Amino acid sequence: MRYIANRSSGKQGYAIAAAAQAAGADVTLISGPVDLDAPEGGDGDAGGNPRATCWRGSKPPCPPYIAIFAAAVADWRVANEGEQKLKKSETALPPLQLVENPDLLATISKPGEKRPPLVIGFAAETEHLIDNAKAKLKRKGCDWIVANDVSPSTGVMGGDRNTVHLLSRNGDDIEVDSWPVMTKEQVAVALIAHIAEHLLTKSLQANSEQANSVDSESIEDNSAEKPA
């Protein structure tokens, strides 16, 4: 049978799910068809397609706190899937019309009450890695982008090692944190640790702002109670 695909193995995404679960997170793994075992104890949905995934992702029963989009989902699909094998013809090439798949990352990144507080995408590039990743971060509206070079010479696509660059927003600027070559499991652990540190910092900031607000209200109340 004939189909259009890429060499993505799902190893990085599954490693991230396993690392998040090991760190104590409740994980839901939505996956395309892969030859991998999902982490034990987590919720999962393997073999899904982008259209169904987009519906599930935009209307979850419980909105996720963090959404990580590591899958190399196809940008296009065949407009009309053949019910039977397309036979080779000696007269002409069979027509092949493509239509665009739903943009999962851009859909989930849209502002709204169901948007996760932290949305992380991946940028698999073969040229101008950082520039293309910065453009994708702005275009998709997500918070972070994990960029990697998937040129055939790197062996990343389908391999066991990865070299990534973490791009994040800092006001109007985009910061780039380049990591060394690691196994995909090491990349996953480092990413989850970075997420945990980010969440801790945000929590401390929120607590500090709340405490300052309470102190300010207390000062105003005490001032109002003083006799003229």
* Chain length of the chain: 228
Residues 6+ apart with CB under 8 A from 76: 4, 98, 99, 100, 101
Side-chain half-sphere CA neighbours of 29 within 13 A: 28
What type of residue sits at position 24? G
In angstroms, the CA 29 to CA 66 distance is 12
Helix (H, G, I), strand (E, B) or coil at 118: strand
Helix (H, G, I), strand (E, B) or coil at 126: coil
What type of residue sits at position 9? S
* Residue 148 known to be catalytic: no
In angstroms, the CA 17 to CA 46 distance is 13
DSSP state of 18: H
User: What is the 3-class SS of 9-76, one letter each residue?
Assistant: CCHHHHHHHHHHHHCCCCCEEEECCCCCCCCCCCEEEECCCHHHHHHHHHCCCCCCCEEEECCCCCCE
Active-site positions read: 6
